[in-house]
Amino acid sequence: MNTRLSTLVLLGLLCFSGLRAQNTFQTGALPGINFNKDLGEIYSLNFKIESREQFWGGEVGSDAPFNHQHLLTDFTLIGSRQVGLSEKVNFGYMFRLEEGETIHRTIQQFSFISRLRTFSLGHRLVTDQTFEPEESTAFRLRYRVSAELPLDGDKADPGEFYVKLNNELLQGWQDGSKPLLEYRFGPFLGYSLDQTHKLEVGLDYRNRSILTDPTRHSYWLSINWFFKL
């Protein structure tokens, strides 16, 4: 299937799921900080703190009033080993505080970057396992492709803006629940402050289930700071 046809099918699925009854939505902000530290030439560490703040939520079409709720905070630590020019194998652990409960997640990830003449593509393939109290383990397989499009010149140099487009599909499995195919899309405006700092602001759209009803549409204002120590 070519890219144009795939996009149309995906858009069709998104529109279809949006029209059904009892779909819900949530809107808010996802502020996050991403620290990176090289440990020699081959190994590196990534530590991320991300918080999820909901401002509006309810059924699609309903007139939901503003109601700020702090939903959760994630703390993620990922260890990476460079295995090629840009290829990395990563293993990580996420600790989530949500509604007074503690959730644990183990993460395995493979990533690589394709540098093209005027833009870059970052590929990320992840498997993860989530452990929640009184719930069976949830397994996910996710693939994300991120395009970085410089707005000045052929690459995003320090002091320049860029656009980043995230596209991600996540397949989830959990005992007692239907497998869910989630779709995420995120257009971001980024600014490269220097070789070590990047700031990104954009929309993080998530459709929790693009194939089965009901679904939940999430629209987050995502603000990320990438900082290389």
Footprint on this chain of other proteins (rule: CB under 8 A): 31-34, 36, 41-42, 46, 48-51, 53, 67-75, 78, 82, 84-86, 88, 97, 99-100, 111, 113, 120-122, 124, 146, 148, 152-155, 157-160, 164, 190, 193-198, 200, 223-228
Residues counted in the chain:
229
The DSSP code for 176 is T
* Placement of tokens 């644990």 in the chain: 104
Record the tokens describing residue 205, joined without a space.
């759209």
Q: Least distance from C-beta 216 to other proteins, angstroms? A: 16
| 202-213 exposure pattern, b = at least 16 Cβ within 10 A, e = fewer | bebbbbbbbeee
Which CB atom, from 36 or from 174, has the smaller least distance to other proteins?
36
Which CB atom, from 172 or from 190, has the smaller least distance to other proteins?
190
Which CB atom, from 63 or from 99, has the smaller least distance to other proteins?
99
Q: Least distance from C-beta 113 to other proteins, angstroms? A: 5
CA distance 52 to 97: 11
CA distance 44 to 54: 33
**3-class state of residue 208 by DSSP:** coil
Which CB atom, from 113 or from 210, has the smaller least distance to other proteins?
113
